[in-house]
């Protein structure tokens, strides 16, 4: 069901410093910041030859990333994202298997403009999993 790894998301307490580290220290191809009000984050994608890194920074006080950073002040890996061909079929299959879909269970539009869903970390070895339809 799952396809390739789309990205690994890292919550960061200082977006500018993280961007500089990836661009200047690691020599990575770093995109521009993109606000995602529906998700309460500002994201920056770093393109690698085989996947992407997504830097997450809180957009507003109610951001779920603000809560994550309160518990992890230095930042850290927030979630991993896998590609799926049909997000509704993937959702239905996962629900039938007992997996919990976060939120309403209906896909939202993600940072790439494609439908996404998040799966409860307690159902996936403590890892928050995002599915993105490609």
Neighbours of 11 (CB within 10 A): 26
The structure tokens 């939202």 sit at 108
Distance CA 46, CA 66 (A): 21
Distance CA 84, CA 6 (A): 10
Distance CA 119, CA 79 (A): 10
Taking a C-beta distance cutoff of 8 angstroms, is the pair 64, 71 a contact?
no
Q: Determine which one of 54, 83, 106, 130 is catalytic.
A: 130
Q: Is 106 a catalytic residue?
A: no
Closest CA to 43 of 25, 75, 19, 20: 19
Tokens of 103: 């939120």
Which are the catalytic amino acids? 130
């Amino acid at each position: 069901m799952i396809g390739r790894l789309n990205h690994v998301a890292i919550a960061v307490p200082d977006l500018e410093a993280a961007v500089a580290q990836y661009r200047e220290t690691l020599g990575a191809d770093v995109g521009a910041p993109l606000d995602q009000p529906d998700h309460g984050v500002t994201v920056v994608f770093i393109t690698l030859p085989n996947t992407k890194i997504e830097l997450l920074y809180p957009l507003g006080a109610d951001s779920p990333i603000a809560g994550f950073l309160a518990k992890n002040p230095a930042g850290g890996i927030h979630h991993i994202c896998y590609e799926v061909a049909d997000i509704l079929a993937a959702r239905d299959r996962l629900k039938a298997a007992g997996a919990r879909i976060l939120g309403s269970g209906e896909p939202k539009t993600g940072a790439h403009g494609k439908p996404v869903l998040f799966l409860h970390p307690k159902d996936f070895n403590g890892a928050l999993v995002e599915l993105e339809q490609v």
